[in-house]
Structure 1
Amino acid sequence: GAPVDADTRFYIASSTKSFTALAVAAMAARGEVDLEAPLAAWSTAPGSPADLFASVSLADLLSHRSGLDNAPMSFRAAMSGEHTPEVMQRLVAATVARDDTPHGTFRYSNAGYNLATTLLEARDGRDWRVLVRDEVLRPIGMTDTTGWVSEARAGSVVAAGHLGHGQDGPVRSPLQKVDSTMQSAGGLVSTADDMARWLEVQINDGVLDGRRIFPAGLVASTHRPLATNNATFGPYVRESYGLGWQIGRYGDDVLIHHFGNFAGSRAHVSFLPERRLGVVVMINEDAVAGGLADLVANYVYDWHAGRADLEAAYDTALAGLVANRDRARASIAGQQADRATRPWMLARPLPAYVGTYESQVMGTVRVAERDGALVVSVGVMEAAAEPFTRPESIRVELAPLQGQVILFAAEGATADSLVFLGETFERR
């Protein structure tokens, strides 16, 4: 209900990656870390897989070409918030090689950033938020940008993520970011004023208001292609990925960009280096209106380019966006109605499934009974259970509009274990 102004803080989700990458690049420029050195040459985290780390570098991790994955680390960092620095360092041992995307092949994920900053923290003792604050935010003067939600809320209004798929309009998302789920692949809140400073630094290779903030060439180095990424995202062609930036084209112009979304928040951050023009759009609804961020940015670029049919083209585009919103609302409502007719597939009374279940790598799942229904919580996430189609199964939306299935196993009167996200959790 609060009016938005240039100082309203929005969560920018994966647009955080370019900040994290620049912070690490700044360390490398001073010789404090080698972006190209194998992780095995300097990692001090316990249980680091020497075979996997023998050829993979920080540059590989930050450009999504490492061929590695670590689902438990990414889940705890971004979703459940169930972690400490010691837990994250222990989870380094859970790193695996991806058979479908070997080393050198681009595959976008949070894992590379989570792994990179966990290894740096194990070596230097510096939390990723402190790293980004000291290396990037303070030099630029982005005083309203932070990786701590508690700090952001103490200083001003933070736009809460919303879901707009219901017929009655947007409602606050049940999953909101907290300090423990702000992570190096998606963990900053910022303002329009601060993000304008960020774009100026990007376009001017480290110069802000006529003053050099970063050494010449440092910011530009993060825009250089490191991994091939032949993909199309709406009107944008993505050709490669650098250090925290997608590199491609919007029409005939080179477009350097990074977007982000999470549970009701959406961010568009982009600039045309040759035209020295950039746009940031931040929206606190993503279920049906996330595309509006891109539409606004495209309008700005096309207006500056003098597009002749600008208003007619964007009237049509906006009408299409509204139609897509209505189709999405109808589709989601239909899916919800279908699920409401499902019979329960649980063979035992509800109390038989109530309890605490643990996995060494994924953390803790708690199942409770409230008002005749099962409620599942994992760290900061919580959702009521729905029926699913398999025996001894339930469905939950711990992340809004993303269904997850839980399968119970039982030999006697109560469930002994459950499977969630491919991992087995044993009853405690």
Structure 2
Amino acid sequence: MSIAALLAIALSVSSPVARPEVKDIDAFTRKAMARVEIVPGLSVAVVQGPDVVMTAGYGVADLRTGKTVDADTCFYIASATKAFTALSIARMAGRGELSLDAPVKTWIGSSPLPADIASSTSLDDLLSHRSGLDNASISFRAAYSGAHTPRTMSALLADTRRSYPYGTFRYANTGYNLATTLIEDRFARGWRTMVDREVLRPAGMIHTTARIDQARRRMVVAAGHMPGPDGRMTVSPLQKINATMQSAGGLVSTARDMARWLQLQLNDGVVDGRRVFPPGLVASTHHRLVSQQAAFGPYTRDGYGLGWQTGRYGDEVLIHHFGNFAGSRTHVSFMPERGLGVAVMANEDALAGEVVDLLANYIYDRFAGRSDLEAYYEGELATLTARRDKRMKGLTASRAERAARPWSLARPTKAYVGAYQNPSMGRIDIAENDGLMVVTIGPMSSRAEAATDPESVRVELIPLTGQIIRFEAPGQLIYDGQTYVRQ
């Protein structure tokens, strides 16, 4: 069955709601899904003050199964996880277990983290991306290879370096990975357990979890999708596993649960008339800790707090965090002054992932009573579909150009086969399959393509994102600036 036919079936299952705003949002979402075509499924949550205005699902969670999306379908929320991790740590700090603003040396005890860094870096620094620190090995293992244990990550703290000036905003996963590695080292409490105990259970978010393997057994979990070699949408070859669900991007959630999350943000820790978190705790995570001057699509960004971007949409203050990874895209935002919040999650990113932002913007503008709403968003849909077509055309041309490249390895493929090791980064496996070179790192695997430089190949371990592997002396390769030696 075609994706259009699947969408036609799934769109009919979204729950109708009487409020005029919701009827308009539902109608526009259906229109957007039909026009964009290539996004298999998405879910929407809208909150106003203490009330859930709307939770709904559209399309399908997985093109292989045709399972429809509803308000209880799980989507990978990627970097929107950071706000959950930061709130968990803030709650521990509120009880005095650790300190947000003091140097981490005051609470970590004996640690491999370099002493000069421990004495000059706080959790606030790490969680607001102003620490200036880098640790490629911890971040890579946490999010991509999945090759880690608590002992491994603790030892790798020694690799932490300051790579840019302290106090400068630089968005990355590193600060969150370092913070939760230090916490696990000190308290023997993994980040999953911490987020469960400190946030998810108190909030009643029963379908939100970092244990994606369990989620797939008991719930419908949307798979990330991407354009395949023939241009048709297919399930991404890279999907998250438990070992790569990490503190900077490691939760799946549903529209119904994200509505609760937005209620907590807008009402300072109160949901269903019940106080879940101490007064001021949730609001404290929204305060800007570091400044920035940036734009992301129609949004301006002026700072970053504890897991939240601060900025504006038009003239309105917008606290927000987005996320994307290998065919998944998430938009989570709220306007504190208007008491309005929106979450949109989709299972496609590369060609039309901005549809989640477009739907959120429509919702904010619909509630604001924008006079030219339908005409304006008709134009925005046209722009999005034109961008989709341009990207697809560029991708097709790029794939054709790469297929025509001459092979640049001087020796037969079998001469390169083996397991290559880097002490900090871990292992890369090179294999031969039906005469083709296949490169694997943990759950990531890619057929090698010709590269432009001698003794090099191109791989897409992260789908639609090319990486170069260069073979140097016999039994040695360079990947992402790191040297790996064949064992």
- Tell me how far 1:41 sits from its aligned partner: 2.5
Aligned residue number for residue 151 of structure 2: 86
Aligned equivalents of 2:158 and 2:468: distance in 1?
A: 26
Does the residue aligned with 2:307 lie in a helix, a strand or coil? coil
How far has the Cα of 1:3 moved from its partner? 0.6
Identify which of 396, 401, 416 aligns with 2:475: 416
Partner of 2:101: 36
Superposed structure 1 runs of 4+ greater than 6 Å apart = none
Which one-letter code corresponds to 1:207 in the other structure? Answer: V
1:102 aligns with one of 162, 165, 170 = 165
The Cα shift of 1:229 comes to 1.4
Give distance in 2, aligned partners of 1:288 and 1:409.
36
Aligned-partner Cα distance in 2 for 1:43–1:103: 20
Q: CA deviation at 1:185?
A: 0.1
- 2:119 is the counterpart of 1:54: yes
Matching residue of 1:134 = 197
Aligned to 1:11: 76
Name 2:44's counterpart in structure 1: none
Matched, 1:425 2:479: no
Q: What are the equivalent positions in structure 2 for 1:168-179 lying under 5 Å apart?
A: 168-179=231-242
Q: Which residue of 1 aligns with 2:422?
A: 359
Q: Any idea what the Cα deviations from partners look like across 1:362-395, whole Å, max 9, x if unmatched?
A: 0000000000110000111110000111111111
Shift of 1:47: 2.1
Q: Aligned-pair distance for 1:43?
A: 2.3
Equivalent residue number for residue 54 of structure 2: none
Q: How do 1:187-336 residues align onto structure 2 when only pairs under 5 Å count? A: 187-336=250-399
User: Distance in 2 between the 1:405 and 1:46 partners?
Assistant: 35
Output the amino acid matched with 1:258: H
* Contact 2:231–2:396 (8 Å) recurs in 1: no
Matched, 1:158 2:214: no
Tell me by how many angstroms 1:165 deviates: 6.8
Alignment length (residue pairs):
422
The one of 136, 140, 147 aligned to 1:75: 140
**One-letter code of the match for 2:85?**
T
The alignment partner of 1:327 has SS state of helix
What is the one-letter code of the residue matched to 1:206? G
The CA distance in 2 between the partners of 1:214 and 1:277, in whole Å, is 20
The alignment status of 1:341 with 2:386, answered yes or no, reads no
One-letter amino acid matched to 1:22? L
Query: What is the one-letter code of the residue matched to 2:81?
Result: T
- Alpha-carbon distance between aligned partners in 2 of 1:241 and 1:192, rounded to the nearest angstrom: 25
Distance 1:302-1:166 versus aligned 2 partners, 3 A rule: farther
Q: Once the two structures are superposed, what CA deviation does each residue of 1:189-217 show, in whole Å capped at 9, x if it has no partner?
A: 00000000000000000010111110000
Query: Quick one: which amino acid aligns to residue 60 of structure 1?
Result: D
3-state SS, counterpart of residue 91 of structure 2: helix
Q: What 5-or-longer segments of structure 2 have no aligned partner?
A: 1-65
TM-score computed with the length of structure 1 as normaliser: 0.97
Structure 2 contact 231–392 (Cα < 8 Å) conserved = no
SS at match of 2:208: coil
CA distance in 2, matches of 1:82, 1:192: 31
String of CA shifts for 1:137-161, please: whole Å, max 9, x gaps.
0000000000001121121110000
- CA distance, structure 2, for counterparts of residue 193 and residue 166 of structure 1: 35
* 1:113-172 Cα deviation digits (max 9, x unpaired): 000000000000011010000000000000000000112112111000001376643110
**AA at the equivalent of 2:242:** D
Any stretches of 5+ residues in structure 1 without a counterpart? none
Report the Cα distance in structure 2 between the residues aligned to 1:348 and 1:164, rounded to whole angstroms: 32
- 2: CA distance, partners of 1:258 / 1:402: 23
> Identical aligned pairs, as a percentage?
60
Q: Please name the residue that 1:65 is paired with.
A: 130
Distance across 2 between alignment mates of 1:213 and 1:167:
50
Report if aligned partners of 1:44, 1:119 keep a CA contact under 8 Å in 2.
no
Q: Distance in 1 between matches of 2:409 and 2:454?
A: 6
